Structure 1
Amino acid sequence: MKIKIALLLLTLPLMSCAESKQKKDYIIFSGKIENVPSNKLMLGGEKGNITLELNDDGSFLDTLNLGEGRYVLFDSRNRLDFYFTNGSEYNLTADLKNFKKSAKLTGTNTDGSHYLMTKFERIKNLRGNNTEFYSLNENDFIAKEKELAQSYISYLDSFPNLPKALKKTEREELNYYHLLALAKYPTLHRMFTKQPEFKVSKDFFKELDTVNYLNESAYNRGGSYRNLVSAHFNRKAEELAMQEGTDKYFAKLKVFGEIPVDKIKNNLLISAATSDISHTDKLDEYYQTFLTVSTESKHKQTIQEKYEKLKLLTKDQVSPIFTDYENHAGGTTSLSDFKGKYVYIDVWATWCAPCIAEIPSLKKIEKQYHNKNIEFVSISIDAEKARESWRKMVERKELGGVQLIADNDWKSEFIKSYQIKGIPRFILIDPKGNIVDANAPRPSDPKLIEVFNTLNI
């Protein structure tokens, strides 16, 4: 009996030890972050988001039950990326005014977090200026991108204690990031070098054509693969439009609609339709085609709502109005002030590069139609805090016509009524205040003069 009791007592410490070594399924996250106005930040994990509550001095302590993986600490302007493992404790100190540079993380195996916190800054420094990078000729670009891709992997490998799961997914991500740079090259090269007719060589897409673009699990993880899938199928739509002379908006519906993976198909369809339905001149046909190819009821509802609003913006419908917009020349101006004349409206902003690119063409047309029965009205949607920048740019660029600024940037009723989601946007209104074209040609498009000639302006 004494022997049995002794054995039992001996096993108790062993059992206690075994229990203490069981892996905890939570993470302790603490620290202090200064200069957070609301005393709140969002912390996003792979299983959801939580609000991180800070004390008045910026300190915090939280127990996370979102599991091992990537985390993002963020507000509307800042973000930090981490990789946390279950059973670990981490401490962060930072100043929100200089979030990334001031951030210091300590704790159990921080290699994953330190890699993610420094990855993009390193990529940015290695790649250099985007304009210069994508302006390289094709051969130099390919050589440079190959060199960069190898350096990204070398940097990943320089962290010896990375969690295996992170190392595996990050290798895949870096490969997709490399392929995405290749996919973006033709479009960005045309834009940065101002060579709209530029085409890559026949073999340029060879590496891209070996990718499986129907990997739903990789797509669900997001990151560069999702953008790569979008770039691939958009390229296929462009090729179809050129080969068959198909309308570019309908080409996307056709190509995206034939994708056999519903998640990918429906995401690409809604992404395209949200914008394209506002630009097509075949509104009814576009809407019906979208309903045919989409298999997601929520997306159909979204596009139906847009369609019904856009029906109010078709030719000969009464135009939405704006009232008492600030005029750069002084006072305020309303759309009704132009009654009896055609009105060509340019919706733009000082930060919009494509908008600014249209200025020389707009000036030329304004001069050509001076003293004709048409007013050229530019409406800036710059935010309240940028009004001084707007005033200075109007003067510096010597902008002509009537220069106005909307009363509530993107949220202005006139902007919302015209369903404007991207700029520049051009609108043509007739002397009675009715819509001629809610998506009029740009000043740089020769079709604009054809429209003016048809109207005998």
Structure 2
Amino acid sequence: MNRILILLLSMLSLASCKTTPSKDYILLTGTISNTTSEKFRLSGQGLRMPIALAEDGSFTCDTIYSGTGRYTFTDGRNTAYLYFETGGTYNLTATINKFKTTAKITGTNPDASNYLLTEYEHNNNLRGVYAEYNSLNETDFSDKQQTIFEANTKYLESFTGLPKEFAEVERKELYYSHYLALIKYESLHRRYTNQPDFKVSDNFMKQFESVDFLDEQAFKRRGSYDDLVKEYFVRKADELAEQEGIDKYLAKLKIFEAIPDDYIKNSLLNSAAKYDIAYTDNIDTYYNTFIAASTSEANNTSFTEKYTALKKLSKGEPSPVFTDYVNNAGGTNSLIDFKGKYVYIDVWATWCGPCLAEVPALKKIEKQYHNKNIEFVSISIDTQDKREAWSKMIADKALGGVQLLADKDWSTDFIVAYKINSIPRFILIDPDGNIVSWNAPRPSNDELITLFNELGI
């Protein structure tokens, strides 16, 4: 009898020690009010989950197994950055027309998400109007940015329920974003005050002496750090180009090559080469310099393919052609219509600020070379549904030359063939339809007139 009693007591004791197992998944529900969008997407930690909203804007994301970390909830226009923990249950609410200011998370330890949802607006309110902020003189800018940094740090600390690791990462992000704002000040001050020769003092640059620009783990986390590192080394490249009078794009490769961390070096080399080879003075020298600097076989293979394709755009090679592009004046035009004349092509779009900045200089050159053996052709890559806006801008700005609309915007065969991934781009073709320059000087650059004179136009 005693043995039976002891056995029963032991079983009861074991049962009392058992606990309900914790969930190994995340549950997210919510409601997006007044939305016309039926589909959102949740991504992060390797997850890409489509979310269908009910008629009342409600949704449920059940059994998210991708684990603790950062997530993005978006419909492509409205975005919420969130942080979930395994086992947590969360509820997201927002009003679509005021998404950024109304998005809020409740549920299991929501502080991390609510910090992410509000930090951007908090920083913007501290900074004020971006142009005015960057137009401050050096001393006032430094003082204000330090005040912003301290206020942002206090704001982070006001969320007392933040996971330790999350708080540490965000504290570093504030530190790096602070220095990113500082290092971008010189170029942004030039832009907003129209002072192209403005330079910060040596004392201003001393602030960066304590920053580690070779933290590979921070670089891989992205955020502000990789932008800060890029800005820092590009600045060094600009200084080298000015000191030695060399091509600024080659100067980047030389500076990046000297970076002792292979991951950071190869990342910067690859990101720069994707675009810079389209603007450098000599693509052969650029290619050879890149291959000598890079230690990534994958990058070298990819870049060699691009270089080989670009060689087809060398001076004297037959130009890619365009056919039957809509002419704003009526009808259509093809490149062959201009055979017998030089053709200076301006690739632009109505939404492109730098493109529009070239308009006054382009008008001046068109007038100067009127009745000469050259045709000025502007090709817009606006989408077809923007045709009316394109036509209106041509009229409003009294744009001259031949105004054409590409047939498939960025995917237009002519644009793809010329490897155009940023605008404005200017191309010069000779009377026989061969390439003079696939990256000709801009109208605002005096080198264009020099080139025209050399060609006897």
Deviations 1:84-143 (A, max 9, x none): 122210122345565434534221121111110111122223222222221222112112
> Match of 1:204, SS?
helix
Residue 11 of structure 1 is matched in structure 2 by: 13
Q: Using structure 2 for the length normalisation, give the TM-score.
A: 0.94
Q: 1:262 to 1:35 in 2, by over 3 A?
A: farther
Deviations 1:309-346 (A, max 9, x none): 11111101111111111111122111111111111111
Q: How does 1:81-230 map to 2 (within 5 A)?
A: 81-94=81-94, 98-230=98-230
Deviations 1:325-375 (A, max 9, x none): 111112211111111111111111111111111111111111111111111
Instruction: Measure, in 1, the Cα distance between the counterparts of 2:237 and 2:74.
Output: 36
Q: 1:418 to 1:179 in 2, by over 3 A?
A: same
Instruction: Measure, in 2, the Cα distance between the counterparts of 1:327 and 1:97.
Output: 39
Deviations 1:154-180 (A, max 9, x none): 221222222222211111101111100
Kept in 2: contact 1:344–1:426 (CA 8 A): yes
Paired AA for residue 258 in structure 1 = A
Instruction: Measure, in 2, the Cα distance between the counterparts of 1:415 and 1:387.
Output: 18
Q: How does 1:13-412 map to 2 (within 5 A)?
A: 13-16=15-18, 19-20=19-20, 23-33=22-32, 40-45=39-44, 47-54=45-52, 56-57=54-55, 59-94=59-94, 98-412=98-412
> Match of 1:207, SS?
helix
Instruction: Measure, in 2, the Cα distance between the counterparts of 1:309 and 1:285.
Output: 16
Deviations 1:374-413 (A, max 9, x none): 1111111112232222122111111111111111111111
Deviations 1:231-271 (A, max 9, x none): 11111111111122222111111111121212111110010
Residue 417 of structure 2 is matched in structure 1 by: 417
Deviations 1:182-215 (A, max 9, x none): 0111111112222221111111111112211111
State the 1:431 CA deviation.
0.8
Q: 1:55 to 1:43 in 2, by over 3 A?
A: closer
State the 1:33 CA deviation.
4.3
State the 1:37 CA deviation.
7.6
Paired AA for residue 175 in structure 2 = N
Deviations 1:7-58 (A, max 9, x none): 4134224321xx32x654321122344688885433222x312223426545
Instruction: Measure, in 2, the Cα distance between the counterparts of 1:94 and 1:152.
Output: 24
Instruction: Measure, in 2, the Cα distance between the counterparts of 1:82 and 1:265.
Output: 31
> Match of 2:92, SS?
strand
Instruction: Measure, in 2, the Cα distance between the counterparts of 1:49 and 1:455.
Output: 57
> Match of 1:317, SS?
coil
Instruction: Measure, in 2, the Cα distance between the counterparts of 1:246 and 1:314.
Output: 21
Kept in 1: contact 2:247–2:281 (CA 8 A): no
Identity %: 54
Kept in 1: contact 2:348–2:381 (CA 8 A): yes
> What is the total number of aligned residue pairs between the two structures?
453
Range with bigger deviation, 338-347 or 202-211: 202-211
> Match of 1:371, SS?
coil
Instruction: Measure, in 2, the Cα distance between the counterparts of 1:298 and 1:128.
Output: 44
Instruction: Measure, in 2, the Cα distance between the counterparts of 1:168 and 1:201.
Output: 32
Paired AA for residue 238 in structure 2 = E
Instruction: Measure, in 2, the Cα distance between the counterparts of 1:159 and 1:315.
Output: 61
Instruction: Measure, in 1, the Cα distance between the counterparts of 2:251 and 2:196.
Output: 20
Instruction: Measure, in 2, the Cα distance between the counterparts of 1:405 and 1:327.
Output: 7
Instruction: Measure, in 1, the Cα distance between the counterparts of 2:404 and 2:335.
Output: 11
Paired AA for residue 265 in structure 2 = K
Instruction: Measure, in 2, the Cα distance between the counterparts of 1:385 and 1:141.
Output: 43
> Match of 1:106, SS?
strand
Kept in 2: contact 1:428–1:438 (CA 8 A): yes
Q: Using structure 1 for the length normalisation, give the TM-score.
A: 0.94
Instruction: Measure, in 2, the Cα distance between the counterparts of 1:384 and 1:34.
Output: 33
Range with bigger deviation, 195-204 or 267-276: 195-204
> Match of 1:313, SS?
coil
- Could you tell me which runs of 5 or more consecutive residues in structure 1 were left unpaired when the two chains were aligned: none
- Could you tell me which runs of 5 or more consecutive residues in structure 2 were left unpaired when the two chains were aligned: none
- Residue 449 (1) aligns with residue 449 (2): yes
**Aligned-CA RMSD value:** 1.9
Range with bigger deviation, 29-38 or 398-407: 29-38
Kept in 1: contact 2:325–2:406 (CA 8 A): yes
> Match of 2:432, SS?
coil
Instruction: Measure, in 1, the Cα distance between the counterparts of 2:348 and 2:105.
Output: 43
Paired AA for residue 275 in structure 1 = Y
Paired AA for residue 16 in structure 2 = L
Instruction: Measure, in 2, the Cα distance between the counterparts of 1:36 and 1:305.
Output: 45
Kept in 2: contact 1:32–1:60 (CA 8 A): no
Instruction: Measure, in 1, the Cα distance between the counterparts of 2:396 and 2:390.
Output: 10
Q: 1:35 to 1:410 in 2, by over 3 A?
A: farther
> Match of 2:195, SS?
coil
Paired AA for residue 41 in structure 1 = F
Range with bigger deviation, 222-231 or 125-134: 125-134
Paired AA for residue 444 in structure 1 = S
State the 1:5 CA deviation.
2.4
Instruction: Measure, in 1, the Cα distance between the counterparts of 2:385 and 2:34.
Output: 22
